[in-house]
Structure 1
Amino acid sequence: MTTEALFELDLTDGPALTLHERASGHLAERYPWDSLEPSRYPAALLERARYSWTLRALNEFGSATVMGQLVQVMGEARVPLDLWSLAARFPAEEIHHVELCARMAMRLGGGTRLSYSPGAFAVAFDPSLTYLQRASELIVRVCCVGETLSFALLSGCLRATSHPLTRAVLTTLVQEEALHGRLGYLYLDWLAPDLDAAEKDRLGRVAREALDAQAPLWEKLRSSTKDGVTSEGFLLEHVTELGWMESRDYVTVSQETAETQVRAPLSRHGIRVP
């Protein structure tokens, strides 16, 4: 049974919070939160930004969940310790990103009400797969495709913005996610020589499914900009300050990344994406 839950975040008010803040670098103090003034932006754009940053927080929440699953499966598969150790850092980094994105939404006036299925993030495996095949599937689906695309899009948003708070938050996300996609190919450097043709074909289909899941998002992004104003009447300056690229840039970056940083390197490892 699939149950829906309201996406909500909370912190305790005790020793655990003190330890958390120490470990995460006291986010309330490290970033120039007061530099972002919500009254500067039109109400309609502000509402979209609140939704966007809340959705980013939810997506990072999902990433933290599936990264935890990746660590578990890699341990069950007994992959080399250096690969496993690198992956073990990722859940904590994703949780860090959840908090940063949520704080951005709060700075803009509060998070948007979003519902989600708590059990929907974890990947359901074919029970006939070995632990190593499960690890390979997660590596391809999450690292080689999902995190590679995410890193490219976040990097594009970072290049587009000049706002000090938005730049600071996106810089953290980009720096900490840089290794997430790379791990996929470090893993394949180790494993690919031992993959048989059937497993390479299966992983190619896994990559295709992961790319197809992204395509509907690209198709929605078709608005244009002229003379610094979007087709919806928003100033492009405001759009980039709040953390977006131009809409058409999302499509360009996504498609170029899919070809040059997903399909091509997978092909070099003998994994052809249909």
Structure 2
Amino acid sequence: MASELFEIDLTDGPALTLHERATGDLAQRYPWASMDPSCYPLLLVERARHSWTLRALNEFGSATVMGQLVQVLGEARVPLDLWSLAARFPSEEIHHVELCARMAMCLGGGTQLSYDPAAFAVAFDPSLTFLQRASELIVQVCCVGETLSFALLSGCLRATSHPLTRAVLTTLVQEEALHGRLGFLYLDWIAPELGSAEKERLGRVARRTLDAQAPLWEKLRSSTKEGVTREGFLLEHVNALGWMESQDYIAVTHETVEAQVKAPLLRHGIRVP
């Protein structure tokens, strides 16, 4: 795998003017000046810089995969309304890349992250039909990945009262609300045509996607006591910089997997092993 340093940039010309016209001038829309890193422990700020840089990279990966989703849905000739909804997602994810990167800069600058540019795209079994590829990507990206992401971002939003963090997370939550829902709208359309073998295969796809999250949840098995994390950070500082408490991540994930991933998939005949 070829590793590259994660970096993003903007031009300083007509393209930037058109970009800001489409997305709004982020420098004016958000209260960036309200974030003062000196109010928080240096170690926590450094972790927040890394966390927001990593969020930018994850959103970058999501933008890549959402572009692939649009292509695959087109190849499968899904109904135009489903395809049109999906076509909005790449630009929303690119917007999120910029917001998360600006958050990192506001805290003192992004941190160095290396990544494999080819690692984001989903590789399909060449024997699958275009429609089977579309169903696999929908389950993996929308029904599981984006449903979980939306729930966790919503939890972080509920936890914070800082004006800048709240404004950025509000945008992410609002724009990602349809990303998971599209998965189940797609299944409403395709489920009557799915045979038992295909439903079983999609259940395995969902299981693999959930299992890929397991190492993260193991890391979060920590505890807090009287508003202080195990490392001694105040929860109000943790929340202000964009996180929930560790146990909240685990609780939200468990509830989301059971109620918003497994249960609706099962209603469409797809059982997660």
Aligned residue number for residue 177 of structure 2: 178
Deviation at residue 176 of structure 1 after TM alignment: 0.3
Alignment-mate amino acid for residue 206 of structure 1: V
Kindly report which structure 2 residues correspond to 1:1-274, keeping only aligned pairs within 5 A, or say none.
2-274=1-273
Deviation at 1:141, TM superposition (A): 0.1
TM-score by length of 1: 0.99
Q: Deviations over 1:147-195 (max 9, x none)?
A: 0000000000000000000000000000000000000000000000000
Q: What's the CA shift string for 1:236-256, capped at 9, x where partnerless?
A: 110000000010000010111
Q: Per-residue displacement from partner, 1:71-105 (whole Å, max 9, x unpaired)? A: 00000000000000000000000000000000000
Identity %: 84
**Alpha-carbon distance between aligned partners in 1 of 2:229 and 2:4, rounded to the nearest angstrom:** 35
Identify the range of structure 1 (241-250 vs 226-235) with the bigger mean alpha-carbon deviation. 226-235
Shift of 1:226: 1.4
Matches of 1:100 and 1:8 in 2, distance apart?
A: 14
Question: Any unmatched runs of 5+ in structure 1?
Answer: none
Structure 2 letter corresponding to 1:152: A
RMSD, aligned α-carbons: 0.5
Deviation (angstroms), 1:215: 1.4
One-letter amino acid of the structure 2 residue matched with residue 30 of structure 1: R
Q: Deviations over 1:17-62 (max 9, x none)?
A: 0111111111111000000001001110000000000000000000
Letter of the 1:125 partner, please give it.
Answer: F
Structure 1 CA distance for aligned equivalents of residues 226 and 253 of structure 2: 24
Residue identity matched to 2:231: E
Output the TM-score relative to the length of structure 2: 0.99
Equivalent-residue separation in structure 2 for 1:82 and 1:41 (angstroms): 47
Letter in structure 2 aligned against 1:17: L
Task: Give the Cα–Cα distance (whole angstroms) in 2 for the partners of residues 171 and 188 of structure 1.
Answer: 28
Mapped to 2, the partners of 1:254 and 1:217 lie a distance apart of: 11
- Opposite residue 259 of structure 1, the aligned amino acid is E
Query: What SS does the corresponding residue of 2:212 show, helix, strand or coil?
Result: helix
Find the aligned partners of 2:272 and 2:227 in 1 and give their Cα distance. Answer: 38
Aligned counterparts of 2:179 and 2:93: Cα–Cα separation in 1: 10
Query: Match of 1:89, SS?
Result: helix
AA aligned to 2:43 is A
SS in 2 for 1:78: coil
* Partner deviation per Cα, 1:171-223 (whole Å, 9 max, x = no partner): 00000000000000000000000000110000000000000011111111022
Instruction: For residue 137 of structure 1, report the CA deviation from its aligned partner.
Output: 0.3
Once residues 111 and 104 of structure 1 are traced to their aligned partners in structure 2, the CA distance between those partners, rounded to angstroms, is 9
